[in-house]
A and B are shown apart, each in its own frame.
Chain A
Amino acid sequence: MAGATQELEQFRAETRSWLEANCPAEMREPVRDEDDVYWGGRNAVFKSEAQRQWFEACRDKGYTVPAWPKEYGGAGLTPPQAKVLREEMARIGARPPLSSFGIWMLGPALLKFGTEQQKLRFLNEIARGEIRWCQGYSEPGSGSDLVSLQTYGEDRGDHWVVNGQKIWTSYADKADWIFCLVRTDKANKYQGITFMLYDMASPGVTTKPILLISGNSPFCETFFDDVKVPKSYGEGIPAQVGEVNRGWDVAKYLLGHEREMISGADGGERTAAIGAAMKRGAGELDPLLRAELAQFDVDALAYACMGEKFLDEVKVGKAHPAQPSMMKYAGTELNKRRYELMMAAGGSRALEWYSEETGGGKTARGWLRTKANSIEGGTSEVMLNVVAKRILDLPGA
Chain B
Amino acid sequence: MPLYHTDDQAMLAETASQFMAEEGAISKQLRHWRDRDCTDGFGHALWKQMAEMGFTGLLVPEADGGLGMGHVEAGIVLEEIGRNLTPSPFLTSSVLAATALQAGSNDLKGRWLPGLIAGDSVFAVAVDEGAKHRPERIRTRAEKSGNGFRLSGQKDFVVQGASADVLVVAARTSGADEDADGITLFAVPKDAANMSHQPVRLVDSSMATHTKFDGVELDGDAVIGEVDGGREVLERMLMAGRVGAAAEGVGVARGAMDMTVGYLKQRKQFGKLIGEFQALQHRAAHLYSEVEIARAAVIKAAQLLDAGSENADLMASVAKAKVAKTARLAVQEGVQMHGGIGMTDEYDIGLYMKRDRALQEFLGDQYYHANRVAELSGY
Task: List B residues 304-325 near A (Cβ within 8 Å).
Answer: 314-315, 317-319, 321-322, 325
A312 to B379 Cα, complex, angstroms: 32
Residues of chain A with a CB closer than 8 A to B319's CB: 302
The answer to whether A301 touches B318 (Cβ under 8 A) is yes
With A306-B296, A384-B281, A388-B284 in contact, do A298 and B321 touch (Cβ < 8 Å)? yes
Select B281's contact among A293, A318, A330, A394, beta carbons within 8 Å. A394
The answer to whether A302 touches B374 (Cβ under 8 A) is no
A293 to B371 Cα, complex, angstroms: 10
B231 within 8 A of partner (CB): no
Select A305's contact among B278, B299, B366, beta carbons within 8 Å. B299
State how many angstroms separate the Cβ of B309 from the closest Cβ of chain A: 13
The answer to whether A279 touches B276 (Cβ under 8 A) is no
The answer to whether B278 touches A312 (Cβ under 8 A) is no
Q: Give the segment of A43-51, A249-257, A270-278 that binds chain B.
A: A270-278
A318 to B5 Cα, complex, angstroms: 11
State how many angstroms separate the Cβ of A12 from the closest Cβ of chain B: 16
Residues of chain B with a CB closer than 8 A to A396's CB: 272-273, 275-277, 281
The answer to whether B289 touches A329 (Cβ under 8 A) is yes
With A301-B315, A384-B281, A394-B276 in contact, do A318 and B293 touch (Cβ < 8 Å)? no
The answer to whether A395 touches B289 (Cβ under 8 A) is no
Residues of chain B with a CB closer than 8 A to A120's CB: none
A388 to B371 Cα, complex, angstroms: 33
A291 to B372 Cα, complex, angstroms: 11
Main SS at interface, chain A: helix
The answer to whether B3 touches A312 (Cβ under 8 A) is yes
The answer to whether A276 touches B3 (Cβ under 8 A) is no
State how many angstroms separate the Cβ of B159 from the closest Cβ of chain A: 24
The answer to whether B265 touches A298 (Cβ under 8 A) is no
Which chain B residue shows the least CB distance to A388? Answer: B281
Which chain A residue shows the least CB distance to B257? Answer: A392
Which chain A residue shows the least CB distance to B314? Answer: A301
Task: List B residues 1-51 near A (Cβ within 8 Å).
Answer: 2-4
Residues of chain A with a CB closer than 8 A to B284's CB: 388, 392, 394
Residues of chain B with a CB closer than 8 A to A278's CB: 379
Q: Mark A298-325, 1 if CB is under 8 A from B, else 0.
A: 1101110110111011011010000000
The answer to whether B370 touches A385 (Cβ under 8 A) is no
B300 within 8 A of partner (CB): yes
A391 within 8 A of partner (CB): yes
Task: List B residues 240-282 near A (Cβ within 8 Å).
Answer: 261, 264-265, 272-273, 275-278, 281-282
State how many angstroms separate the Cβ of A309 from the closest Cβ of chain B: 4
The answer to whether A302 touches B289 (Cβ under 8 A) is no
A295 within 8 A of partner (CB): yes
Residues of chain B with a CB closer than 8 A to A306's CB: 292-293, 296-297
B377 within 8 A of partner (CB): yes
With A301-B315, A306-B293 in contact, do A385 and B281 touch (Cβ < 8 Å)? yes
**Cross-chain pairs A/B with CB under 8 angstroms, 18 sampled:** A275-B374, A279-B379, A294-B371, A294-B373, A297-B370, A297-B374, A297-B377, A298-B317, A299-B293, A303-B293, A306-B296, A308-B296, A309-B299, A313-B3, A326-B285, A389-B281, A394-B264, A394-B275
List residues of chain A with CB under 8 Å of any chain B CB: 273, 275-276, 278-279, 285, 290-291, 293-295, 297-299, 301-303, 305-306, 308-310, 312-313, 315-316, 318, 326, 329-330, 381, 383-385, 387-389, 391-397
